[in-house]
Amino acid sequence: NQWTREARYRPLSDLAPEVYQLMKEEVRNSPWRFSFHIQPPTGLLNDPNGFVYHNGTYHLFYQWFPLGPVHGLKYWYHMTSKDLVHWFDEGAALIPNDDPDSHGAYSGSGFVKNDQVHVMYTGNKRDAEWNRHTSQIVGHLRSDGRIEKHLPPAIPEVPTGYTEHFRDPKVFQHHDTWYCIIGAQRDDLSGCTVMYQSLDAENWTFMGELNTGYDQFGYMWECPDYFELDGKGFLLFSPQGISPENDRYQNIFQSGYLMGQPLALPELTFQHEDFVELDFGFDFYAPQTTLAADGRRILVGWMGLPDISYPSDRFNWAHGLTLPRELTLENQQLRQKPVRELISLRKETLYKQELELVDQLLPAQAEIFELELSQLQLSSDQLEVKLRVSDQEQTVLRYDQQTRRFTMDRASSGAEVPALDYGTTRSVTLTEPLHTLRVFVDRSSVEVFLNDGEAVASARIFPKTTSQGIVLTGDATAHLAIYSL
């Protein structure tokens, strides 16, 4: 396929339904399709959008280009769930067919107003000279599953001082006032966020730039989110243009947060600690959070990155979303745990025992599974857990007791390893000695949660289906359980 500009901006409606059906069929039968992650029916998925809970249902949308594994004309695809685990496919919800979103319905968020799910997103438009024009559009979800746009755009233009890289509004309510935070690039080409306020979430007033201690930190901040948790304020964003620093910032683009005092409104000052990455793995970007029915703060990310190609691309689909994570604050540290509902994915118990591990153990074989190692007491210097193992392939998790450094190594995960230019290992240094390891393995992904959410790593891997070995090496006592999913 030649992904010319024309091909990238071709709408789905251009295709005869039979032709699209065939494309869907081919994707469904292609390798590396996920078993329990959200993935596109065809084409490319990127950011999670519009994540919101309403009347017993979670709504989660994602950025979608239907016709190929490239970034082109973006739609919002709609998924719903009762439990954050089993998702129902609701089809395309937001179609980029109006003038202000003629070149894409870009990222945005969801909120509930007047007992209805609403969204606010970025309309992306290119003019005849291919100059970008962005606006922010409000809409609501109709009972037929489509989003009705409230046009003209609520925020029709970019305020002075900022470039057209101005997008991804996240709406939240505070003391009866609506706020939205938007990712922006200043005229001097540095990244930041700005805020608007509103009494009805339709008419918005520009407040100004949110003041952080990171005045010069990359050239663009994408997908901001702001929320409070146990008396702390959290600003999440995905800065672009940050250089690697030891184990940090190893991917092409980063995603992380600033934790601080609750945001001072309307002054827009934010007192915070240093920027922390949310995920130390290879494939994580543009996360978004929402509040669950019971008040938990839940985060979902894009398990992928812009400008990186993957072996599954040649089968005409790309990327998935991460598992939902619950965010908690413990000892003034943010933790991310897999949502508890995920235990309902467990099918068969493949292994469950108290371990006295000396040297090597091959407890089970599995392709799609969860592994939980708890109450770990290590007597050797190192512990290794290898997944998706065969003669030629293995994905390695390695922990070094002396340094508390934990490494994920995908150099031999499969015949093709994505993003080789960015290296094949990722590491983090834990504050607590490793005592718990929970790993979720899908057909082409691994998500690792360390010490009850102290650190998380997500990675895409592309092994053969027959690479199913699980190998533990080290000298330790622990409780080990493995479940097929």
CB of 168 to ligand FRU, least distance (A): 5
Per DSSP bridges, beta strands 162-174 and 147-155 are unpaired
Q: Are 110 and 119 in contact (CB under 8 A)?
A: yes
Side chain identity at residue 289, one-letter code: T
45 vs 376 by CB, closer to ligand FRU? 45
- Rounded Cα distance between 472 and 180, Å, is 47
123 vs 453 by CB, closer to ligand FRU? 123
Q: Mark whether 409 is an active-site residue.
A: no
167 vs 386 by CB, closer to ligand FRU? 167
Helix, strand, coil fractions of the chain, as percent rounded to 5: 5, 55, 40
Please state the three-class secondary structure of 270-337 as a single string: CCECCCEECCCCCCCEEEEEEECCCCCEEEEEEECCCCCCCHHHHHCEECEECCCEEEEEECCEEEEE
Q: Are 193 and 166 in contact (CB under 8 A)?
A: no
Q: Can you count the helices (H) and strands (E) in the chain?
A: 2, 32
CB of 96 to ligand FRU, least distance (A): 11
CB of 93 to ligand FRU, least distance (A): 15
Binding residues for ligand FRU (CB under 6 A): 46-47, 63, 74, 106-107, 122, 167-168, 222-223, 286, 306
46 vs 336 by CB, closer to ligand FRU? 46
CB of 398 to ligand FRU, least distance (A): 31
CB of 313 to ligand FRU, least distance (A): 16
**Rg, Å, the chain Cα set:** 22
Q: Which residue from 289, 274, 265, 315 is spatially nearest to 109, judged by alpha carbons?
A: 289
Who contacts 11 (Cβ-Cβ below 8 Å, separation ≥6)? 73, 95, 96, 97
CB of 285 to ligand FRU, least distance (A): 6
75 vs 369 by CB, closer to ligand FRU? 75
Q: Of 47, 101, 279, 409, which residue is the catalytic one?
A: 47
Per DSSP bridges, beta strands 43-54 and 317-318 are parallel
192 vs 364 by CB, closer to ligand FRU? 192
Residues labelled catalytic = 47
